[in-house]
A = this chain, B = another copy of it.
Amino acid sequence: MGKGEETRQTVLVKALRTASTVGLRGLTIGGLAEQTSMSKSGLFAHFKSKEQLQWALVEYASEWFVDMVLRPALREPRGEPRLRALFDRWLLWDGGSVWALPGGCVFISAAAELDDEPDGPLRDRFVRNQRDWLDTLATVFRSGMTEGHFDQGCDPAQFAYDLYGVTLAFHHANRLLRDPLAEQHARVAFERLVEVARPLSPA
């Protein structure tokens, strides 16, 4: 990694932590300059504008999410074991683990900001990120249908929607309400989703 790339990474890590609490809109090159003890002009050399910084951040967060959540889960056997690994690591991503961001999932903050924005490169990029993730969830679930863990009549897109809802509710209960039962509720909800998806025993 060259010096320039290294600096860029350092800045992006800081920016990601900040954005997880104040959102993409709250991120400024000036504020970031203070946090990294870099000059504003130095930062502008890396990210020509606030928009480019936000874009780079979504890219970086997506890569980090793949490294921390998706890739390790894909090492598990197809179907239910992989789905469980994915869900466990997704909760860690949002929860209190060492590599979790201080404000929890940065994508949830970004979603709340970008949902009412008009179309534009940043929104489009982010929507692609979210669709990819829902597709991944559906694909992993579908592998469980092929493996015989889940019923052939299940709808993978519905499962992805349902599971996304479970983690959104977890974020809400955990971060906003600081509900000590947040994780328990999330796990019960997950187990029920898996339970109702099981193949009907042959008549």
| Size range of the chain A interface in the assembly | 35 or more
Which residue from B130, B162, B177, B192 sits with its C-beta under 8 Å from A131? Answer: B177
| Chain B proximity of A120: nearest CB distance (Å) | 13
In the complex, what residues of B have CB within 8 A of residue A155's CB? Answer: 188
Interface residues of A, dominant DSSP: helix
- The reply to whether B109 and A188 contact each other, CB–CB distance below 8 Å, is no
- The reply to whether B102 and A108 contact each other, CB–CB distance below 8 Å, is no
Residue-wise interface mask of A (97-112) relative to B, using a CB-CB cutoff of 8 A (1 in contact, 0 not): 0000011100011011
Interface residue A68 (Cβ < 8 Å from any Cβ of B): no
Among A55-63, A71-79, A139-147, A167-175, the stretch in contact with B: A167-175
Chain B's closest residue to A112 (CB) is B112
Residue-wise interface mask of A (79-118) relative to B, using a CB-CB cutoff of 8 A (1 in contact, 0 not): 0000000000000000000000011100011011111100
Extra A-B contacts (7), CB below 8 Å, given A23-B113, A162-B185, A165-B165 = A21-B116, A158-B189, A161-B186, A162-B165, A162-B166, A168-B168, A168-B172
